[in-house]
Amino acid sequence: MSMDTTLPPHGMADPKSASGKFPAPEQMVDVLVVGAGPAGLAAALEAARSGASVLLVDEHPVPVGLAGLDVPYLFGGRAGTALANPARMVERIAAATPGLAEAYDAGVEVLLGVSAWGAWVERPGLAVLPCSLAGLSDGSRSWMCGFRRLVVAAGARDLVLSFRDADQPGVMGARGLAALLTRYDAFDGREIVILGTGRLALDTALLALDRGIAVPALVEAAAAPVGPAPLVEAVRSRGVEILCGHVPLAAVASPAGVAGLDVVPVAGGPARRLDCDTVCLAIGLVPAVELLDVAGARLVMDAARGGYVPVLDDAGRCTAPGVVAVGDCAGIADDPGLDYRMGWMRALLATGGADAPACLCEEVTRADVFALNPPRYLGPPPPAMAARDYAALLRDGPPDHDQMKRLTRVSMGPCQARRCREQVALLMAIGAGLPAASIGLAGYRAPVRPLPLSALAAGGDDEAGWDVWFGILSQWVPYAAIGTEREDAWRAGSMHL
Q: What is the pLDDT of residues 49-76, one digit of tens each?
A: 999 999 999 999 999 888 998 999 999 9
In this structure, is residue 198 part of a structural domain? yes
| Residue 444 counted as domain residue | no
Q: Provide the pLDDT for residue 17.
A: 64
- Looking at residue 182, what DSSP letter applies? I
User: Which DSSP category does 431 fall into?
Assistant: H
Helix (H) or strand (E) holding 273: strand 272-274
Q: Look at the chain and report how many structural domains it folds into.
A: 4
Q: Give me the residues paired with residue 157 across strands.
A: 286
Q: Please give the DSSP secondary-structure letter assigned to residue 69.
A: T
Segment holding 115, helix H or strand E: strand 115-120
Does 148 lie in the same domain as 293? yes
- What lies within 8 Å, CB to CB, of 284 at 6+ separation is 159, 196, 198, 200, 306, 332, 335, 336, 340, 341
pTM equals: 0.88
Q: Is residue 346 part of a domain?
A: no
Give the contacts of 457 (CB within 8 A, at least 6 positions apart): none
For residues 292 and 276, membership in a common domain is answered with no
Query: Looking at the structure, do residues 141 and 290 belong to the same domain, yes or no?
Result: yes
For residue 249, the SS3 value is strand
Same domain, 162 and 149: no
What is the distance between the alpha carbons of residues 145 and 30, in angstroms, rounded to a whole number? 10
Q: Tell me what pLDDT residue 365 has.
A: 94
Whose CA is closest to 416, among 300, 293, 236? Answer: 293
Given this model, what pLDDT does residue 222 score? 98
Q: Domain range spanning residue 481?
A: 467-497
Q: Are residues 164 and 272 in the same domain?
A: yes
Q: What is the pLDDT of residues 216-250, one digit of tens each?
A: 999 999 999 999 999 999 999 999 999 999 999 99
On whether both 273 and 325 belong to a single domain, the answer is no
Whether residues 128 and 88 fall in one domain = yes
Pair 115, 220 in one domain: no
Long-range residue pairs from 296-305, CB within 8 A, at least 24 positions apart, any chain: 296/121, 296/123, 296/320, 297/323, 297/325, 299/441, 301/437, 301/441, 302/331, 303/337, 303/338, 303/339, 303/436, 303/437, 304/335, 304/337, 305/330, 305/331, 305/332, 305/333, 305/335
Within 13 Å, how many C-alpha atoms sit on residue 488's CB side? 1
Note whether residue 11 is domain-resident: no
Per-residue pLDDT at 496: 47
Task: Tell me which H or E stretch contains 236.
Answer: helix 229-236
Note whether residue 452 is domain-resident.
no
> Is residue 289 a contact partner of residue 116, using CB atoms and an 8 Å limit?
no
* pLDDT of amino acid 82: 87
Q: Note whether residue 343 is domain-resident.
A: no
Nearest to 251 by CA among 268, 263, 269, 265: 263
Say whether both 69 and 174 belong to one domain. Answer: no
Strands 285-287 and 109-112, bridge-based pairing: unpaired
Residue 193 located in a structural domain:
yes
Determine, yes or no, domain membership for 474.
yes
In terms of domains, do 253 and 309 share one?
A: no
Rounded to a whole number of angstroms, the distance between the first and last alpha carbons of the chain is: 12
Predicted local confidence at residue 4, as pLDDT:
44
Residue 465: how many other CB atoms lie within 10 Å: 15
What CATH number does residue 59 fall under?
3.50.50.60
Per-residue pLDDT of the chain (497 residues; tens, 9 = 90+): 343 444 455 454 555 566 667 788 999 999 999 999 999 999 999 999 999 999 999 999 999 888 998 999 999 999 988 888 988 999 999 999 989 999 999 999 999 999 999 999 988 878 788 999 999 999 999 999 999 999 999 999 999 999 999 999 999 999 999 999 999 999 999 999 999 999 999 999 999 999 999 999 999 999 999 999 999 999 999 999 999 999 999 999 999 999 999 999 999 999 999 999 999 999 999 999 999 999 999 999 999 899 999 999 999 999 999 999 999 999 998 889 999 999 999 999 999 999 999 999 999 999 999 999 988 888 888 888 788 889 989 998 999 999 999 999 999 988 999 999 999 999 999 999 999 999 999 999 999 998 888 888 766 555 544 554 444 554 566 667 777 877 777 666 654 43
Same domain, 277 and 366: no
Is residue 141 located within the same domain as residue 167?
no
Integer Cα distance of 74 and 121 in angstroms: 30
Rounded CA-CA distance 32/332 in Å is: 23
